[in-house]
Protein backbone atom coordinates (compact mmCIF):
# COMPACT_ATOMS: atom_id res chain seq x y z
CA UNK A 1 0.00 0.00 0.00
CA UNK A 2 2.86 2.35 0.81
CA UNK A 3 4.25 2.13 -2.72
CA UNK A 4 0.82 2.58 -4.29
CA UNK A 5 0.33 5.71 -2.23
CA UNK A 6 3.84 7.18 -2.55
CA UNK A 7 5.41 6.00 -5.82
CA UNK A 8 4.15 7.09 -9.21
CA UNK A 9 7.11 6.36 -11.49
CA UNK A 10 7.22 3.69 -14.18
CA UNK A 11 10.62 2.31 -13.12
CA UNK A 12 10.85 -0.86 -11.06
CA UNK A 13 11.26 -0.32 -7.35
CA UNK A 14 12.84 -2.97 -5.15
CA UNK A 15 11.18 -3.94 -1.89
CA UNK A 16 13.44 -5.37 0.79
CA UNK A 17 15.31 -4.60 3.96
CA UNK A 18 18.62 -3.69 2.35
CA UNK A 19 20.37 -6.17 4.65
CA UNK A 20 22.75 -8.66 3.09
CA UNK A 21 21.87 -12.34 3.39
CA UNK A 22 23.43 -15.30 1.63
CA UNK A 23 21.23 -17.87 -0.09
CA UNK A 24 22.62 -20.44 2.35
CA UNK A 25 21.61 -18.29 5.34
CA UNK A 26 18.13 -17.81 3.91
CA UNK A 27 17.75 -21.55 3.25
CA UNK A 28 18.84 -22.32 6.83
CA UNK A 29 16.40 -19.74 8.19
CA UNK A 30 13.48 -21.28 6.29
CA UNK A 31 14.62 -24.78 7.32
CA UNK A 32 14.60 -23.75 11.00
CA UNK A 33 11.21 -22.06 10.80
CA UNK A 34 9.40 -24.90 9.04
CA UNK A 35 11.10 -27.61 11.10
CA UNK A 36 12.70 -29.39 8.15
CA UNK A 37 15.10 -32.05 9.47
CA UNK A 38 16.85 -32.91 6.20
CA UNK A 39 20.09 -31.53 4.86
CA UNK A 40 20.45 -28.53 2.61
CA UNK A 41 22.61 -29.56 -0.33
CA UNK A 42 24.32 -27.15 -2.72
CA UNK A 43 25.58 -28.40 -6.08
CA UNK A 44 29.25 -27.33 -6.45
CA UNK A 45 29.05 -28.34 -10.14
CA UNK A 46 26.92 -25.23 -10.68
CA UNK A 47 29.10 -22.47 -9.23
CA UNK A 48 27.57 -19.75 -11.40
CA UNK A 49 24.44 -19.52 -9.27
CA UNK A 50 23.75 -16.39 -7.30
CA UNK A 51 25.43 -16.86 -3.90
CA UNK A 52 23.64 -13.89 -2.37
CA UNK A 53 20.82 -11.49 -3.09
CA UNK A 54 20.88 -7.90 -1.94
CA UNK A 55 18.38 -5.51 -3.44
CA UNK A 56 19.14 -1.83 -3.81
CA UNK A 57 16.31 -0.29 -1.82
CA UNK A 58 17.55 3.31 -2.08
CA UNK A 59 14.43 4.55 -3.91
CA UNK A 60 12.19 2.93 -1.34
CA UNK A 61 14.01 4.32 1.68
CA UNK A 62 14.13 7.77 0.08
CA UNK A 63 10.33 7.64 0.01
CA UNK A 64 10.40 7.09 3.78
CA UNK A 65 9.66 3.36 3.94
CA UNK A 66 11.48 0.89 6.15
CA UNK A 67 10.75 -2.69 7.11
CA UNK A 68 8.84 -3.03 10.37
CA UNK A 69 8.91 -6.82 10.59
CA UNK A 70 12.23 -8.68 10.82
CA UNK A 71 12.77 -11.35 8.16
CA UNK A 72 12.56 -14.29 10.59
CA UNK A 73 9.29 -13.01 12.01
CA UNK A 74 7.86 -12.36 8.53
CA UNK A 75 8.72 -15.82 7.23
CA UNK A 76 7.41 -17.46 10.42
CA UNK A 77 4.17 -15.50 10.24
CA UNK A 78 3.68 -16.29 6.56
CA UNK A 79 4.36 -19.98 7.19
CA UNK A 80 1.89 -20.04 10.09
CA UNK A 81 -0.76 -18.31 7.96
CA UNK A 82 -0.18 -20.72 5.07
CA UNK A 83 -0.32 -23.86 7.19
CA UNK A 84 -3.45 -22.64 8.98
CA UNK A 85 -5.21 -21.81 5.71
CA UNK A 86 -4.13 -25.10 4.10
CA UNK A 87 -6.01 -27.00 6.81
CA UNK A 88 -9.30 -25.19 6.17
Domains of the chain (ranges; CATH) run 2-87 (3.90.25.10)
pLDDT of 27-79, one tens digit each?
999 999 999 999 999 888 877 767 667 788 999 999 999 989 999 999 999 99
- Partners of 21 in the beta sheet? 53
* pTM listed for this prediction: 0.75
The answer to whether 40 and 28 have CB atoms below 8 angstroms apart is yes
With helix as H, strand as E and coil as C, how does 1-55 read? CHHHHHCCCCCCCCCCCCCCEEHHHHHHHHHHHHCCCCCCCCCCCCCCCCCEECC
- Partners of 52 in the beta sheet? 22
Amino acid sequence: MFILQHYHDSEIINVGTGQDLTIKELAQLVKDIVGYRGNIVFDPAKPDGTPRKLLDVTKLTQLGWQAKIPLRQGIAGTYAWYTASAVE
